[in-house]
Structure 1
Amino acid sequence: MRERIIDAALKRFTYYGSSKTTMNEIADDLHCSKASLYYYFPDKQSLHVAALEKAGETYFQDLEEKAEQAETARQAFMELIATRHAFAKRFCRLELFKVLKDKQLMRFAHEAFQKAREREIRIITNIIEKGAARGELITADPEKVAALYMHAMIGLRLSLVSKDLSEEISDEEFERVREWQVQLADIFINSLKK
């Protein structure tokens, strides 16, 4: 039941946003009582966090799968960019930054972001190591290069957002970030070639 609640909340939060979704609406979607929701989640905020965690796990599983299936390092990097872009567009209404402003959740958010960064660095490190094993790339420190690459990508995502992070990002901004990320990935890949 807990997973059904999270799935229903994620569906509503993705479409309407968390702030415009009520626990009553989620209960109605599930044909259950609001009390049933509160049995598993003490408040909407905890349900929102659970929905964010589920979306994040789905995202990382997709990243890992795409990286594993790629035949070249460049293909893997481009798949990561496409996956990130699709995820951001699909889940832009999850109001992640609104959750981050909540003082009670700051510790959780900090830990979650740290784990996410570490996981993404491992994925990128694996791509670089596989590229080196295939003779496509060369580097003495794949993990350090992966961390640099990931932080550069984060910088690109944030550099074009000139407004409050809780506001929606336009389609043009999404596309500009994607284009710049592709260019940066090519620069990184070319710098790692023999």
Structure 2
Amino acid sequence: MSKNVDVKRAKILDVAKRRFAHFGMTKTTMAEIAKDLSFSKALLYYYFPDKHSLYTAVLEHVVNEMINKVEAYIPSASGVEEILLYAVESRMSIMRDNYNLFEYSSSQFIQNPGEMGKNIGPYFERIRDQYSRILKKGVDNKEIKVDDFNETAELLLFSLMGMRVGILSKDLNDCLFPTPDEFDLILTKQQKMVKIFLRGLRHS
């Protein structure tokens, strides 16, 4: 892929992300995105054959933003707890800023878990791998003791996800994504969960 193509693709993802985040997936059309870009619809379809493929690419783009933001923070952090608390806070902030984007993915997961699982699964694995590396840093610094990095990272992520589902006040058949008013409460509880989780990994 040429540098020019990379630049155009990045521009499309950035513009589409803003529109999806503001208006949502169902209320956004490819024609509107092309107009925002000052592109022809034909050029937009050259890069992305349909709105679903563009949405999936935007979701991946935002997950990359989450991961890269934490990676950039790691070298300056004082310890594993600070890194994990930042990871939880920055992830929640990005989800809040892109509310309609993530809310749609959650609703689609409820309607078609198999298909959405194919898209969401690799993102979970990448975040798990990042958490695993963060835990290893904590072990290298002799802050914590971990026997299996990937398994422990998964347990932490599942704990955080379970905390979110447990707090949500909506019907349990539609509880994968919080309302805007629930973000602060969920973040506070997840931060406490990180501290409790790490306490169990501390050297005795």
| TM bin (shorter chain) | 0.7 to 0.9
Alignment partner, residue 61 of structure 1: 68
Aligned: 1:192 with 2:201:
yes
Aligned partner (choices 20, 36, 45) of residue 38 of structure 1: 45
* SS of alignment partner, residue 26 of structure 1: helix
Distance in 1 (CA, whole Å) between partners of 2:117 and 2:39 is 34
Contact in 1 for aligned 2:70/2:83 (Cα 8 Å): no
Contact in 2 for aligned 1:67/1:79 (Cα 8 Å): no
Aligned: 1:169 with 2:179:
yes
Alignment partner, residue 137 of structure 1: 144
Q: Give % identity.
A: 29
* SS of alignment partner, residue 70 of structure 2: helix
Alignment partner, residue 76 of structure 1: 83
Deviations 1:109-150 (A, max 9, x none): 323332222222222222222112212112323332221111
Aligned partner (choices 18, 27, 33) of residue 34 of structure 2: 27
Distance in 2 (CA, whole Å) between partners of 1:112 and 1:61 is 19
> Could you tell which deviates more after superposition, 45-54 or 77-86?
45-54
Q: Report the alpha carbon displacement of residue 102 of structure 1 after superposing the two structures with TM.
A: 6.3
Alignment partner, residue 97 of structure 1: 106
Distance in 2 (CA, whole Å) between partners of 1:138 and 1:166 is 32
Alignment partner, residue 128 of structure 1: 135
Moved over 6 A (4+): none
Deviations 1:8-56 (A, max 9, x none): 1111111111212122221211112222222222222221112112112
- 1:178–1:3 distance in 2 versus 1, CA, 3 Å: same
TM-score, normalised to structure 2, is 0.83
Q: Which runs of 5+ in 2 are unaligned?
A: 1-7
Contact in 1 for aligned 2:66/2:94 (Cα 8 Å): yes
TM-score, normalised to structure 1, is 0.87
Q: Report the alpha carbon displacement of residue 183 of structure 1 after superposing the two structures with TM.
A: 0.8
Distance in 2 (CA, whole Å) between partners of 1:167 and 1:179 is 16
Counterpart AA for 1:151: F
* SS of alignment partner, residue 46 of structure 1: helix
Deviations 1:88-113 (A, max 9, x none): 1011111212443565x944x32333
Contact in 2 for aligned 1:12/1:21 (Cα 8 Å): yes
Q: Report the alpha carbon displacement of residue 168 of structure 1 after superposing the two structures with TM.
A: 6.0
Contact in 1 for aligned 2:165/2:176 (Cα 8 Å): no
RMSD: 2.2
Contact in 1 for aligned 2:67/2:130 (Cα 8 Å): no
